[in-house]
């Protein structure tokens, strides 16, 4: 068996965790989302944005704090999350940084998706005023595509997106959203895989799933 078959199809979507989490929230129906509580969704996206920085090796999450591993020093960074971290200052409690990022987390992620050409501003049926909506069906399927690319059987070398897939799986499972169909082998691999270092402290700050 070739590695491509054993490890699932190649993944070609976004490799940013918050993009994938927002796509999973809109996976089956773009409006209404799976998480209707806007404050809860903002917190989830804030945690996901921080997890991106952990996965990139920019910051580390200890038991309850965030610390720099590679603090930006060459002028103000273009990345909105890095600017927020510099403004807040590290080390800092995870909960405090999540609260600050949550104020603009949804806007930050949607703007990234707009820049990628897979979303646009749209009027929501659930609230007055402008919102956003996915315009490319394939983008809403990114989470399933990434998770399906996980190894299908034990002993198969993990691909470069495996840490992202495991982090996404842990976030979706914590939110009660890890319910869509996947190859049985991929689901078992995701369940057994250890999360990337520093992800567990962030997961503990996620809001509890609501019925």
Query: Residue 184: its pLDDT value, please?
Result: 83
Among the residue ranges 2-16, 47-61, 66-80, 182-196, the one predicted with the least confidence is 2-16
Residue 12 within a domain: yes
Q: Residue 103 sits in a domain of what CATH number?
A: 1.10.3630.10
Residue 76 within a domain: yes
Strand partners, 65: 93
Of residues 2 and 80, more confidently modeled: 80
Query: Residue 4: its pLDDT value, please?
Result: 39
**Looking at the predicted structure, is the pLDDT value of residue 3 above 50?**
no
Residue 170 within a domain: yes
- CA-CA distances (angstroms) from residue 30 to 44, 59, 139, 140, 147? 17, 32, 11, 8, 20
**Parent domain of 67:** 3-203
The string of pLDDT tens digits covering residues 19-54 is: 999 999 998 765 678 888 899 999 999 999 999 999
The string of pLDDT tens digits covering residues 106-160 is: 999 999 999 999 999 987 655 545 689 999 999 999 999 999 988 776 666 566 7
- Cα–Cα distance between 44 and 47 in angstroms, integer? 5
Residue 177 within a domain: yes
The count of structural domains within the chain is: 1
Residue 209 within a domain: no
Query: Residue 67: its pLDDT value, please?
Result: 98
Backbone angles phi, psi at 37, to 5 degrees: -70, 110
Percentage of the chain exceeding pLDDT 90: 62
Residue 143 within a domain: yes
According to DSSP H, which parts of 56-183 are helical?
Answer: 80-88, 94-102, 105-115, 137-140, 142-148, 162-174
**Looking at the predicted structure, is the pLDDT value of residue 92 above 50?**
yes
**Mean pLDDT across the chain, nearest whole number?**
87
Query: Residue 128: its pLDDT value, please?
Result: 47
Residue 90 within a domain: yes
| DSSP class per residue in 178-190 | TTS---HHHHHHH
Residue 210 within a domain: no
Q: Which residues contact 208 (CB under 8 A, 6 or more apart)?
A: none
């Amino acid at each position: 068996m070739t590695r491509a078959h054993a490890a699932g199809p190649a993944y070609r979507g976004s490799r940013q965790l918050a993009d994938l989490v927002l796509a999973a929230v809109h996976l089956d129906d773009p409006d209404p989302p799976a998480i209707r509580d806007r404050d809860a969704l903002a917190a989830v996206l804030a945690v996901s944005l921080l997890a991106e920085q952990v996965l990139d090796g920019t910051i580390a999450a200890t038991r309850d704090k965030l610390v720099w591993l590679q603090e930006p020093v060459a002028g103000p960074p273009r990345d909105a999350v890095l600017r927020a971290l510099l403004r807040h200052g590290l080390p800092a409690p995870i909960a405090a940084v999540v609260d600050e990022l949550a104020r603009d987390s949804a806007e930050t992620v949607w703007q990234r998706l707009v820049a990628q050409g897979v979303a646009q501003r749209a009027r929501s049926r659930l609230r007055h005023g402008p919102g956003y909506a996915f315009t490319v069906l394939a983008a809403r399927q990114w989470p399933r595509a990434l998770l399906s690319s996980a190894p299908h059987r034990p002993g198969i070398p993990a691909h470069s997106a495996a840490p992202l897939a495991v982090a996404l799986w842990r976030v979706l499972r914590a939110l009660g959203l890890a319910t869509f169909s996947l190859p049985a082998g991929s689901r078992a691999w995701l369940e057994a895989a250890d999360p990337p270092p520093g992800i567990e402290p962030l997961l503990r700050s996620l809001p509890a799933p609501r019925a």
